[in-house]
Structure 1
């Protein structure tokens, strides 16, 4: 079988250690391989990098195992060609012997050019991706807390969500704060409504007649505080994303013109696939 990379390495990544199979050839073309184990602590990974460089290894491959591949990639990026390979792809390549180590099998496949690396975006895109994914999680957490708030209101016989489209809108927040302040008169609470919700004051008054106990007030106080914290975190995250998106403003603006794509979706798209389409077939 044709040799594509005469000198290369296969890395089997685990949480606490990595096993590295280094393949080299001498002047006569005789193949040798060496397997070493390193801790995933930075000092040990730097030793691994130096060891590979001392043997003139410039291309390595490893499986995309959870997040454990990232510390290794952080230290190899720029000095090596790193192929991050889908474990399923490696598993389905025929010809593997049962007694061969994972790192040896990865090295063999890399040696003969049988591995295809996954797309790893540049650092700026990766950092943006971390923030947009974090923002998405914060938004999901806020949604979960709002749902939890609605359940507490339901257990207190308060049907605010049946009348108000957004429980956390201006009217909803004002009514909830009044409830926590001790106001329990449905008519007085309904008078706090604003905008179009005032057209439903009679219905709202019926919805606000409940059995709101101190226990519900305790839960509601905690939930509202958490929601406000999440909203503040989302706002701060949005500001950071805006700054990081400045180099990609043109691409985001263009994506924003597509039907069904808003600015946030455009930012997410850039964070996931980058702006250079040449790496996609």
Structure 2
């Protein structure tokens, strides 16, 4: 009895042929689109704003509507925001979940693999709050940091006063 070939994924249906993917890096982003849409389906882009705008223009010229991006750090945030401003449906993906397949060790193959998974609808997006909530969270984190810094500076001032005036043991708040 001959075993049927599974090459080409006969059981999987492509749900998003206009999908693209980006493997986010600190110095370079590798982007992949459907190979049928262009002669060069994987390209490298820089991380500066003009590079990200060029990426969005390239995606638009390739007919992309949805983009999955994988990153383990915070480098995905500018790309996410710029692509979202250009009207793309952007899905941040945890890189650990998408890269558990052996044999894909280069950025080019990672980007192509992510695009393939996204085109079949196999990637689950990470939670990203709405823009207003994300802004509020950033303000709250900054406030928390400033309060922590203020507490540390007060302790430094108290130490200096105690060191120069041993009879002062406590500073009135």
State the TM-score, normalized to the length of structure 2. Answer: 0.78
Aligned to 1:87: 95
Aligned to 1:269: none
Match of 1:149 among 149, 152, 157: 157
Residues 25 and 71, structure 2, Cα contact 8 Å, conserved in 1: no
1:256-275 equivalent positions in 2, closer than 5 A = none
Equivalent position of 1:195 in the other structure: none
5+ long unaligned stretches in structure 1: 27-31, 162-166, 170-281
The answer on whether the counterparts of 1:62 and 1:85 sit within 8 Å (CA) in structure 2 is yes
Give deviations 1:2-37, integer Å, cap 9, x for gaps: 2222221110122332110112547xxxxx871101
- The structure carrying a bigger helix percent of its residues is 1
Structure 2 contact 33–59 (Cα < 8 Å) conserved: yes
**Greater RCO (CA < 8 Å, at least 6 residues apart):** 2
Measured in 1, the distance between the counterparts of 2:23 and 2:99 equals 13
What is the CA-CA distance between 1:133 and the residue it aligns to? 0.7
**Over alpha carbons, which structure has the higher Rg?**
1
Q: 1:17 aligns with which of 6, 22, 28?
A: 28
What RMSD in Å do the two structures reach over aligned CA positions? 2.3
1:59 aligns with 2:70: no
Structure-1 residue corresponding to 2:138: 130
The secondary structure found in structure 1 opposite 2:21 is strand
CA deviation after TM superposition for structure 1 residue 80, in Å? 1.1
Query: 1:45–1:75: 8 Å Cα contact kept in structure 2?
Result: yes
Q: Distance in 1 between matches of 2:71 and 2:79?
A: 11
4+ long deviations beyond 6 Å: none
| Aligned CA distance change for structure 1 residues 126 and 98 (closer, same or farther; 3 Å) | closer
